[in-house]
Homo-oligomer: A and B are copies of this chain.
Amino acid sequence: MSEIGNLSSFDARRKIRNKEWVKPTSGMANGYVQANLAVLPKDLAFEFLLFCQRNPKSCPIIDVTEPGSGVPALSAPDADLRTDIPKYRLYKKGILTEEKTDLLDIWDENMVGFLIGCSFTFEEALIKNGIPMRHNEEQCNVPMYKTNIQSVKAGPFEGPMVVSMRPMKEKDVVRAVQVTSRFPAVHGAPVHIGNPQSIGINDINNPDFGDKVTIKDDEVPVFWACGVTPQAVAMHVKPEIMITHSPGHMFITDLSNEQFGVL
């Protein structure tokens, strides 16, 4: 994996554009910010952007394209969101209709692409601080749960916050809060520490998305707002068309993780 990890963001995207890499992007182009994708029609763009602005912990906006453009001009000016993600999901009226490896035949002038921060950035910071990620150790997806925390509504967009969970030793919890507080633009500090039921999670061993991970006896579950929230909320609106990345198949920007630290 280290060869893939050492790629520049440009080279990683080129591999993906050439369809030489049609796999999850975890571990690729280490140090570069990876992002979630949501593509929506222009007539929903203002209210979706407003939803993200009102819910910055779950929906941290990294970049937004001009309507009709596939270019994320601020985060990767030579990239194209229509080709530079390994796998896309196409939803019509909220129903998954297709997985595709590019969007060239379905993109139109009306589409706006939103890149939303993902947890890889703060996970790298946690790992560098000696706090291991159980879902990495167990080689699965991070567990994610719907909560009873309501997002702040904007136009038709509303719904519960989705959180991801990482178990850790009690002694690491304070440091985890400090480390992730530095990165408000990629989910930031945890939203909850400890008892899952306090935020409406009844069965910690039965996540709504991703995979179950082991929580050891001396460990505390720590919960972060998750970028699945805006996708789930947008899907609920049943737009004529909506496009996302396939889970784990992220967009790799030219921004470095460290640039997102506020201090």
User: Within 8 Å of chain B (Cβ to Cβ): is A66?
Assistant: yes
Number of interface residues of A (CB under 8 A): 19
Among A182-224, those with CB < 8 Å from B are: 184, 188
Q: Are A181 and B46 interface neighbours, CB within 8 A?
A: no
Number of copies: 2
In the complex, chain B residues whose CB is within 8 Å of the CB of A130: none
Contact of A262 (CB < 8 Å), options: B46, B54, B184: B184
The answer to whether A181 and B50 touch (CB under 8 A), given A74-B152, A152-B74, A155-B66, is: no
Q: How far is the CA of A67 from the CA of B238 in the complex (A)?
A: 22
**1/0 contact string of A224-263 vs chain B (CB within 8 Å):** 0000000000000000000000000000000000000011
Residues of B within 8 A of A45 (CB): 46
Q: Are A263's CB and B64's CB within 8 A?
A: no
Give complex CA distance A31, B248 in Å: 44
A184 surroundings in chain B (CB, below 8 A): 184, 262
Instruction: Show 19 residue pairs from A and B whose CB-CB distance is below 8 angstroms, ordered by the A residue.
Output: A42-B46, A45-B46, A46-B46, A46-B49, A49-B49, A49-B50, A50-B64, A53-B53, A53-B61, A54-B64, A54-B74, A66-B155, A178-B263, A181-B262, A181-B263, A184-B184, A184-B262, A262-B262, A263-B263
